[in-house]
């Protein structure tokens, strides 16, 4: 029997539940990588949610030029970021959150607020777990 719990498609069978690949999983995988949330968060703080490539690179500590390029390309592919190219000398490229990217911000804020408030409990649970298994 096929069903969906909180948007996650799954199959119920006797004595087991089997999750099936779905769009939310794909998006969460993208958002859960090392850099995406940092880039989106930085763009959300920028005036008009828009920054030059170099400003994003300088604003996300530790990101390489290649990883920033890949992250921005994937965000653009997913429709969360718009790339603006200006044919100047030297060429200028700016990135801004799209309306879809901006629509994600309230949910992102709720999630990061939950992480912030839950972080002490998570750290305590990790410490107890590590003590128990060592």
**Domain topology for 34-133:** Arc Repressor Mutant, subunit A (1.10.10)
Domain boundaries, the chain: 1-31, 34-133
pLDDT per position as a tens digit, 33-79: 899 999 999 999 998 889 999 999 999 999 999 999 999 999 999 99
pLDDT per position as a tens digit, 88-130: 998 899 999 999 999 999 999 998 999 999 999 999 999 999 9
Closest by Cα among 8, 41, 33 to 22: 8
CA–CA separation, 40 and 81 (whole Å)? 8
């Amino acid at each position: 029997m096929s069903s969906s719990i909180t948007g996650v498609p799954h199959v119920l069978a006797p004595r087991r539940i089997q999750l099936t690949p779905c769009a939310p999983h794909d998006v969460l995988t993208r958002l859960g990588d090392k850099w995406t949330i940092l880039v989106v968060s930085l763009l959300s703080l920028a005036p008009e949610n828009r920054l030059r490539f170099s400003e994003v690179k300088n604003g996300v500590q530790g990101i390489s030029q290649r990883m920033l390029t890949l992250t921005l390309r994937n965000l653009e592919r997913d429709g969360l970021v718009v790339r603006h190219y200006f044919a100047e000398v030297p060429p200028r490229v700016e990135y801004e959150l799209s309306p879809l990217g901006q629509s994600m911000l309230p949910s992102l804020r709720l999630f990061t607020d939950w992480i912030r408030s839950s972080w002490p409990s998570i750290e305590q649970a990790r410490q107890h777990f590590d003590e128990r298994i060592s």
